[in-house]
Structure 1
Amino acid sequence: MADPLADAVIRFQELSTYKATVRSMAADGERQVIRYFFRKPGWVRMEFAEPHRGVVLIYDPEARRIRLWPFGLNHALVLPLAPDNPLMRSPRGHRVDRSDVGALLDTLVALRARGNVVALGAADVSGHPAVGIEIVGAASISVAGVHRFQVWLAHDSLFPLRVKSFDAENKLMETVDLTDVAIGIRFSENFFTP
Protein backbone atom coordinates (compact mmCIF):
# COMPACT_ATOMS: atom_id res chain seq x y z
CA MET A 1 0.00 0.00 0.00
CA ALA A 2 1.99 2.95 -1.33
CA ASP A 3 -0.26 5.78 -0.09
CA PRO A 4 -2.96 4.63 2.33
CA LEU A 5 -4.40 8.15 2.74
CA ALA A 6 -4.86 8.67 -1.02
CA ASP A 7 -6.36 5.18 -1.29
CA ALA A 8 -8.72 5.91 1.64
CA VAL A 9 -9.94 9.06 -0.15
CA ILE A 10 -10.66 7.03 -3.31
CA ARG A 11 -12.51 4.37 -1.30
CA PHE A 12 -14.63 7.04 0.40
CA GLN A 13 -15.48 8.61 -2.97
CA GLU A 14 -16.73 5.19 -4.13
CA LEU A 15 -19.03 4.49 -1.16
CA SER A 16 -22.58 5.81 -0.87
CA THR A 17 -23.52 4.97 2.74
CA TYR A 18 -22.04 3.90 6.04
CA LYS A 19 -22.86 3.61 9.70
CA ALA A 20 -20.66 3.43 12.79
CA THR A 21 -20.66 3.84 16.52
CA VAL A 22 -18.47 6.85 17.30
CA ARG A 23 -16.80 6.94 20.71
CA SER A 24 -14.81 10.06 21.45
CA MET A 25 -12.78 10.98 24.49
CA ALA A 26 -11.41 14.51 24.82
CA ALA A 27 -8.28 15.31 26.79
CA ASP A 28 -10.45 16.96 29.45
CA GLY A 29 -12.34 13.67 29.96
CA GLU A 30 -15.49 14.64 28.03
CA ARG A 31 -16.89 11.48 26.48
CA GLN A 32 -19.42 11.01 23.69
CA VAL A 33 -21.02 7.90 22.22
CA ILE A 34 -23.04 8.41 19.06
CA ARG A 35 -24.62 6.02 16.58
CA TYR A 36 -23.73 7.74 13.30
CA PHE A 37 -25.38 7.19 9.90
CA PHE A 38 -24.34 8.76 6.59
CA ARG A 39 -25.73 8.80 3.05
CA LYS A 40 -24.33 10.81 0.16
CA PRO A 41 -24.55 13.62 -0.77
CA GLY A 42 -24.22 14.51 2.94
CA TRP A 43 -27.24 13.27 4.91
CA VAL A 44 -26.28 12.68 8.55
CA ARG A 45 -28.28 11.08 11.35
CA MET A 46 -26.87 10.99 14.88
CA GLU A 47 -28.45 9.06 17.74
CA PHE A 48 -26.82 10.03 21.02
CA ALA A 49 -26.12 7.47 23.73
CA GLU A 50 -23.76 9.64 25.82
CA PRO A 51 -24.01 12.24 27.21
CA HIS A 52 -27.45 13.22 25.87
CA ARG A 53 -29.13 9.81 25.73
CA GLY A 54 -32.10 9.73 23.35
CA VAL A 55 -31.33 12.92 21.43
CA VAL A 56 -31.57 12.49 17.65
CA LEU A 57 -30.50 14.94 15.01
CA ILE A 58 -30.65 14.77 11.24
CA TYR A 59 -28.79 17.04 8.84
CA ASP A 60 -30.38 17.68 5.44
CA PRO A 61 -27.64 18.78 2.98
CA GLU A 62 -30.14 20.06 0.42
CA ALA A 63 -31.93 22.41 2.85
CA ARG A 64 -28.71 22.94 4.89
CA ARG A 65 -30.78 22.51 8.04
CA ILE A 66 -30.63 20.35 11.14
CA ARG A 67 -33.73 18.89 12.73
CA LEU A 68 -33.16 18.13 16.41
CA TRP A 69 -35.39 15.88 18.53
CA PRO A 70 -34.18 16.68 22.08
CA PHE A 71 -36.37 13.96 23.64
CA GLY A 72 -36.16 11.36 20.85
CA LEU A 73 -38.10 10.67 17.68
CA ASN A 74 -41.21 9.59 19.60
CA HIS A 75 -41.77 13.14 20.89
CA ALA A 76 -43.42 15.91 18.90
CA LEU A 77 -40.87 18.59 19.75
CA VAL A 78 -38.54 19.14 16.78
CA LEU A 79 -36.16 22.09 16.59
CA PRO A 80 -34.99 23.35 13.18
CA LEU A 81 -31.46 24.74 13.42
CA ALA A 82 -28.71 25.98 11.13
CA PRO A 83 -25.51 23.90 11.03
CA ASP A 84 -23.47 26.87 12.24
CA ASN A 85 -25.72 27.41 15.28
CA PRO A 86 -23.48 27.50 18.40
CA LEU A 87 -25.76 24.93 20.06
CA MET A 88 -24.84 22.47 17.31
CA ARG A 89 -21.06 22.74 17.69
CA SER A 90 -19.09 20.47 19.94
CA PRO A 91 -16.77 22.04 22.53
CA ARG A 92 -13.92 21.45 20.05
CA GLY A 93 -15.81 23.19 17.22
CA HIS A 94 -17.00 20.13 15.31
CA ARG A 95 -20.02 20.81 13.09
CA VAL A 96 -22.67 18.31 11.97
CA ASP A 97 -22.36 19.34 8.33
CA ARG A 98 -18.60 18.57 8.43
CA SER A 99 -18.74 15.48 10.64
CA ASP A 100 -18.50 12.64 8.12
CA VAL A 101 -15.42 10.58 7.23
CA GLY A 102 -15.05 12.52 3.98
CA ALA A 103 -14.58 15.76 5.93
CA LEU A 104 -11.99 14.02 8.13
CA LEU A 105 -10.11 12.79 5.07
CA ASP A 106 -10.18 16.32 3.59
CA THR A 107 -8.60 17.63 6.80
CA LEU A 108 -5.93 14.92 6.74
CA VAL A 109 -5.09 15.67 3.10
CA ALA A 110 -4.90 19.43 3.86
CA LEU A 111 -2.49 18.84 6.76
CA ARG A 112 -0.38 16.43 4.70
CA ALA A 113 -0.08 19.12 1.98
CA ARG A 114 1.56 21.38 4.59
CA GLY A 115 3.56 18.70 6.39
CA ASN A 116 4.45 15.04 6.02
CA VAL A 117 3.26 11.48 6.58
CA VAL A 118 5.00 8.73 8.52
CA ALA A 119 3.92 5.08 8.49
CA LEU A 120 3.03 3.68 11.92
CA GLY A 121 2.75 0.13 10.62
CA ALA A 122 0.24 -2.63 11.16
CA ALA A 123 -1.93 -2.75 14.28
CA ASP A 124 -5.02 -4.35 15.70
CA VAL A 125 -7.79 -1.84 16.43
CA SER A 126 -10.79 -3.27 18.28
CA GLY A 127 -10.15 -6.68 16.77
CA HIS A 128 -9.67 -5.43 13.20
CA PRO A 129 -6.38 -5.43 11.28
CA ALA A 130 -5.38 -1.85 10.53
CA VAL A 131 -2.59 0.22 9.06
CA GLY A 132 -1.48 3.32 10.93
CA ILE A 133 -0.21 6.64 9.61
CA GLU A 134 0.84 9.85 11.30
CA ILE A 135 0.34 13.21 9.60
CA VAL A 136 2.29 16.14 11.04
CA GLY A 137 2.09 19.77 9.96
CA ALA A 138 5.36 21.55 9.23
CA ALA A 139 6.71 23.84 11.98
CA SER A 140 3.62 25.26 13.72
CA ILE A 141 1.14 24.48 10.92
CA SER A 142 -2.29 23.28 12.05
CA VAL A 143 -5.49 22.47 10.19
CA ALA A 144 -8.78 22.81 12.07
CA GLY A 145 -6.69 23.40 15.21
CA VAL A 146 -4.80 20.09 14.84
CA HIS A 147 -1.04 19.94 14.29
CA ARG A 148 -0.69 16.13 14.28
CA PHE A 149 -3.01 13.22 13.57
CA GLN A 150 -2.48 9.52 14.18
CA VAL A 151 -4.94 7.51 12.10
CA TRP A 152 -5.53 3.78 11.85
CA LEU A 153 -7.35 2.64 8.70
CA ALA A 154 -9.04 -0.76 8.38
CA HIS A 155 -6.74 -2.96 6.34
CA ASP A 156 -9.52 -4.17 4.01
CA SER A 157 -11.66 -1.04 3.47
CA LEU A 158 -9.24 1.76 4.52
CA PHE A 159 -12.10 3.18 6.60
CA PRO A 160 -10.81 5.09 9.66
CA LEU A 161 -11.11 3.04 12.86
CA ARG A 162 -9.22 5.30 15.27
CA VAL A 163 -8.10 8.92 15.08
CA LYS A 164 -5.97 10.76 17.63
CA SER A 165 -5.51 14.51 17.30
CA PHE A 166 -2.74 16.61 18.87
CA ASP A 167 -2.25 20.37 19.18
CA ALA A 168 0.87 22.39 18.31
CA GLU A 169 2.31 21.67 21.78
CA ASN A 170 1.95 17.95 21.05
CA LYS A 171 -0.81 17.51 23.64
CA LEU A 172 -3.48 14.93 22.93
CA MET A 173 -6.74 16.72 22.16
CA GLU A 174 -9.10 13.84 21.38
CA THR A 175 -9.26 10.14 20.59
CA VAL A 176 -12.09 8.91 18.37
CA ASP A 177 -12.87 5.23 17.81
CA LEU A 178 -15.28 4.07 15.10
CA THR A 179 -16.71 0.63 15.78
CA ASP A 180 -19.56 -1.46 14.36
CA VAL A 181 -18.70 -0.01 10.95
CA ALA A 182 -20.86 -1.10 8.02
CA ILE A 183 -20.32 0.27 4.52
CA GLY A 184 -22.79 0.26 1.64
CA ILE A 185 -25.86 -0.46 3.75
CA ARG A 186 -29.42 0.24 2.64
CA PHE A 187 -31.46 2.65 4.72
CA SER A 188 -35.26 2.68 4.76
CA GLU A 189 -36.94 5.28 2.54
CA ASN A 190 -37.66 7.67 5.42
CA PHE A 191 -34.60 6.97 7.61
CA PHE A 192 -33.28 10.52 7.11
CA THR A 193 -36.74 12.09 6.81
CA PRO A 194 -38.86 10.56 9.60
Structure 2
Amino acid sequence: MPDRDLIADAQARFDALANYQVTLASAAAGAEPVEIRYSYRKPGFVRMDCIRPHAGTTLVYSPETGKVTLWPFGFGRLPKLALSPDNPVIQSPQGHRIDRSDIGVLLVNVRELQRHGDTQVVGVETIGMRRASHVIVTGEPGQRVAGVCRYELWFDLGLGLPVKAASEGAWGKLIETVLMDDLRIDVPESQLGPFS
Protein backbone atom coordinates (compact mmCIF):
# COMPACT_ATOMS: atom_id res chain seq x y z
CA MET A 1 0.00 0.00 0.00
CA PRO A 2 2.81 2.56 0.67
CA ASP A 3 3.66 2.55 -3.06
CA ARG A 4 0.10 3.57 -4.02
CA ASP A 5 -0.76 7.24 -4.21
CA LEU A 6 -4.19 7.11 -2.58
CA ILE A 7 -4.74 10.80 -3.28
CA ALA A 8 -4.10 10.42 -7.03
CA ASP A 9 -6.36 7.33 -6.99
CA ALA A 10 -9.11 9.34 -5.28
CA GLN A 11 -8.74 12.12 -7.87
CA ALA A 12 -9.13 9.57 -10.69
CA ARG A 13 -12.23 8.12 -9.02
CA PHE A 14 -13.71 11.59 -8.55
CA ASP A 15 -12.99 12.41 -12.21
CA ALA A 16 -14.87 9.24 -13.28
CA LEU A 17 -18.08 9.76 -11.26
CA ALA A 18 -21.17 11.62 -12.46
CA ASN A 19 -22.49 12.66 -9.05
CA TYR A 20 -22.37 11.88 -5.37
CA GLN A 21 -24.41 12.39 -2.23
CA VAL A 22 -23.21 12.46 1.37
CA THR A 23 -24.12 13.70 4.84
CA LEU A 24 -21.43 16.11 6.02
CA ALA A 25 -20.81 16.69 9.72
CA SER A 26 -18.33 19.49 10.34
CA ALA A 27 -16.71 20.39 13.65
CA ALA A 28 -14.40 23.38 14.13
CA ALA A 29 -12.98 25.07 17.22
CA GLY A 30 -15.23 27.87 18.42
CA ALA A 31 -17.94 27.15 15.83
CA GLU A 32 -21.34 25.53 16.08
CA PRO A 33 -21.39 21.96 14.66
CA VAL A 34 -22.76 21.81 11.13
CA GLU A 35 -24.62 18.93 9.48
CA ILE A 36 -25.66 19.05 5.82
CA ARG A 37 -27.14 16.65 3.28
CA TYR A 38 -24.84 17.41 0.35
CA SER A 39 -25.46 16.53 -3.31
CA TYR A 40 -23.05 17.16 -6.20
CA ARG A 41 -23.60 16.68 -9.93
CA LYS A 42 -21.08 17.39 -12.66
CA PRO A 43 -20.08 19.82 -14.01
CA GLY A 44 -20.37 21.52 -10.60
CA PHE A 45 -24.00 21.69 -9.43
CA VAL A 46 -24.22 21.64 -5.63
CA ARG A 47 -27.23 21.26 -3.36
CA MET A 48 -26.98 21.66 0.41
CA ASP A 49 -29.95 20.77 2.60
CA CYS A 50 -29.16 21.99 6.11
CA ILE A 51 -29.87 19.65 9.01
CA ARG A 52 -28.27 21.86 11.69
CA PRO A 53 -28.06 24.71 12.27
CA HIS A 54 -30.77 26.36 10.13
CA ALA A 55 -32.73 23.11 9.66
CA GLY A 56 -34.74 23.14 6.45
CA THR A 57 -32.65 25.78 4.66
CA THR A 58 -31.58 24.77 1.15
CA LEU A 59 -28.84 26.25 -1.01
CA VAL A 60 -28.28 25.33 -4.65
CA TYR A 61 -25.31 26.45 -6.74
CA SER A 62 -25.52 26.39 -10.53
CA PRO A 63 -22.31 26.62 -12.58
CA GLU A 64 -24.49 27.73 -15.51
CA THR A 65 -25.57 30.95 -13.78
CA GLY A 66 -22.69 31.28 -11.29
CA LYS A 67 -25.32 32.03 -8.63
CA VAL A 68 -26.55 30.42 -5.43
CA THR A 69 -30.28 30.13 -4.84
CA LEU A 70 -31.17 30.23 -1.15
CA TRP A 71 -34.49 28.98 0.21
CA PRO A 72 -34.42 29.87 3.96
CA PHE A 73 -37.59 27.87 4.71
CA GLY A 74 -37.06 24.84 2.46
CA PHE A 75 -36.63 24.05 -1.21
CA GLY A 76 -39.32 25.60 -3.38
CA ARG A 77 -40.81 27.74 -0.56
CA LEU A 78 -40.77 31.52 -0.64
CA PRO A 79 -38.79 33.62 -0.14
CA LYS A 80 -36.13 32.66 -2.65
CA LEU A 81 -32.90 34.64 -2.88
CA ALA A 82 -30.22 34.70 -5.59
CA LEU A 83 -26.74 35.34 -4.18
CA SER A 84 -23.15 35.36 -5.32
CA PRO A 85 -21.14 32.37 -3.99
CA ASP A 86 -18.71 34.81 -2.34
CA ASN A 87 -21.48 36.40 -0.26
CA PRO A 88 -20.35 36.12 3.41
CA VAL A 89 -23.93 35.31 4.49
CA ILE A 90 -23.65 31.86 2.89
CA GLN A 91 -19.99 31.11 3.61
CA SER A 92 -18.95 28.85 6.46
CA PRO A 93 -17.08 30.30 9.45
CA GLN A 94 -13.93 28.80 7.88
CA GLY A 95 -14.59 30.74 4.66
CA HIS A 96 -15.78 27.76 2.56
CA ARG A 97 -17.81 28.69 -0.50
CA ILE A 98 -20.52 26.46 -1.98
CA ASP A 99 -18.96 26.66 -5.45
CA ARG A 100 -15.65 25.33 -4.05
CA SER A 101 -17.02 22.74 -1.62
CA ASP A 102 -16.87 19.41 -3.44
CA ILE A 103 -14.50 16.48 -2.93
CA GLY A 104 -12.67 17.39 -6.14
CA VAL A 105 -11.66 20.79 -4.73
CA LEU A 106 -10.48 19.14 -1.50
CA LEU A 107 -8.34 16.69 -3.49
CA VAL A 108 -6.80 19.48 -5.61
CA ASN A 109 -5.79 21.30 -2.42
CA VAL A 110 -4.39 18.13 -0.84
CA ARG A 111 -2.42 17.27 -3.99
CA GLU A 112 -0.95 20.79 -4.08
CA LEU A 113 0.22 20.45 -0.46
CA GLN A 114 1.49 16.95 -1.28
CA ARG A 115 3.71 18.39 -4.05
CA HIS A 116 5.44 20.58 -1.46
CA GLY A 117 5.53 18.22 1.48
CA ASP A 118 5.45 14.70 2.82
CA THR A 119 2.81 11.96 2.50
CA GLN A 120 2.50 9.21 5.10
CA VAL A 121 0.18 6.19 4.85
CA VAL A 122 -0.68 5.37 8.47
CA GLY A 123 -2.73 2.22 7.93
CA VAL A 124 -6.32 0.99 7.77
CA GLU A 125 -8.89 2.13 10.35
CA THR A 126 -12.65 1.98 10.81
CA ILE A 127 -14.59 5.21 10.26
CA GLY A 128 -18.24 4.68 11.15
CA MET A 129 -19.18 1.52 9.26
CA ARG A 130 -16.41 1.82 6.65
CA ARG A 131 -12.85 0.55 6.47
CA ALA A 132 -10.58 3.36 5.37
CA SER A 133 -6.91 4.04 4.62
CA HIS A 134 -5.53 6.80 6.86
CA VAL A 135 -3.18 9.22 5.07
CA ILE A 136 -1.39 12.30 6.42
CA VAL A 137 -0.09 15.02 4.11
CA THR A 138 2.18 17.58 5.76
CA GLY A 139 3.50 20.62 3.90
CA GLU A 140 7.10 21.71 4.10
CA PRO A 141 7.79 24.44 6.71
CA GLY A 142 5.92 27.60 5.73
CA GLN A 143 3.95 25.79 3.00
CA ARG A 144 0.16 26.28 3.06
CA VAL A 145 -2.69 25.64 0.68
CA ALA A 146 -5.93 27.51 1.45
CA GLY A 147 -4.52 28.18 4.93
CA VAL A 148 -3.86 24.48 5.59
CA CYS A 149 -0.43 23.13 6.57
CA ARG A 150 -1.50 19.53 7.21
CA TYR A 151 -4.33 17.24 6.12
CA GLU A 152 -5.37 13.95 7.62
CA LEU A 153 -7.63 11.94 5.32
CA TRP A 154 -9.36 8.59 5.52
CA PHE A 155 -10.13 6.99 2.12
CA ASP A 156 -12.91 4.39 1.90
CA LEU A 157 -11.30 1.10 0.80
CA GLY A 158 -14.13 0.31 -1.64
CA LEU A 159 -14.95 3.71 -3.13
CA GLY A 160 -11.44 5.17 -2.89
CA LEU A 161 -12.88 8.55 -1.86
CA PRO A 162 -12.44 10.39 1.44
CA VAL A 163 -14.94 9.66 4.21
CA LYS A 164 -13.21 11.88 6.77
CA ALA A 165 -10.87 14.86 6.52
CA ALA A 166 -9.14 16.97 9.14
CA SER A 167 -7.21 20.15 8.36
CA GLU A 168 -4.62 21.92 10.48
CA GLY A 169 -3.12 25.38 10.25
CA ALA A 170 0.14 26.72 11.61
CA TRP A 171 1.52 25.17 14.83
CA GLY A 172 -0.78 22.17 14.49
CA LYS A 173 -3.93 24.13 15.25
CA LEU A 174 -6.98 22.15 14.15
CA ILE A 175 -9.05 24.11 11.62
CA GLU A 176 -11.86 21.67 10.93
CA THR A 177 -12.82 18.00 10.94
CA VAL A 178 -15.40 16.81 8.42
CA LEU A 179 -17.04 13.39 8.56
CA MET A 180 -18.61 12.27 5.28
CA ASP A 181 -21.30 9.74 6.18
CA ASP A 182 -23.50 7.66 3.84
CA LEU A 183 -21.32 8.49 0.83
CA ARG A 184 -22.98 7.27 -2.38
CA ILE A 185 -21.68 7.80 -5.90
CA ASP A 186 -23.51 7.77 -9.26
CA VAL A 187 -26.87 8.10 -7.54
CA PRO A 188 -29.97 7.80 -9.81
CA GLU A 189 -31.20 11.31 -10.66
CA SER A 190 -34.60 10.56 -9.08
CA GLN A 191 -32.86 10.07 -5.71
CA LEU A 192 -30.47 13.00 -6.01
CA GLY A 193 -32.98 15.84 -5.61
CA PRO A 194 -33.50 18.75 -8.00
CA PHE A 195 -30.83 21.41 -8.55
CA SER A 196 -33.23 24.12 -9.72
TM range (shorter): over 0.9
TM-score (norm. length: structure 2): 0.95
Q: Per the alignment, do residues 29 and 65 of structure 1 end up closer, same or farther by CA in structure 2, a change over 3 Å counting?
A: closer
**Partners of 2:37 and 2:48 within 8 A in 1:** yes
Spell out the pairing of 1:82-121 with structure 2 (5 A cutoff): 82-121=84-123
Q: Count how many residue pairs are aligned between Structure 1 and Structure 2.
A: 193
Q: Give the corresponding residue for 1:20.
A: 22
1:16-40: CA deviation from partner (whole Å, max 9, x where unpaired)? 1100000000022420000000000
1:86 positional shift: 1.4
**Partners of 2:134 and 2:152 within 8 A in 1:** yes
1:190 positional shift: 7.1
* 2:43 aligned residue (30, 41, 44): 41
1:74 positional shift: 4.6
Structure 1: tracts of 5 or more residues without a match:
none
CA root-mean-square deviation? 1.3
Greater shift in the superposed pair: 59-68 or 82-91: 82-91
Q: Does residue 1:192 correspond to 2:174, yes or no?
A: no
Greater shift in the superposed pair: 120-129 or 72-81: 72-81
Alpha-carbon distance in 1 for matches of 2:69, 2:24: 20
Alpha-carbon distance in 1 for matches of 2:195, 2:175: 31
| Percent identity for Structure 1 against Structure 2 | 40
TM-score (norm. length: structure 1): 0.96
Alpha-carbon distance in 2 for matches of 1:157, 1:169: 32
Alpha-carbon distance in 1 for matches of 2:35, 2:169: 23
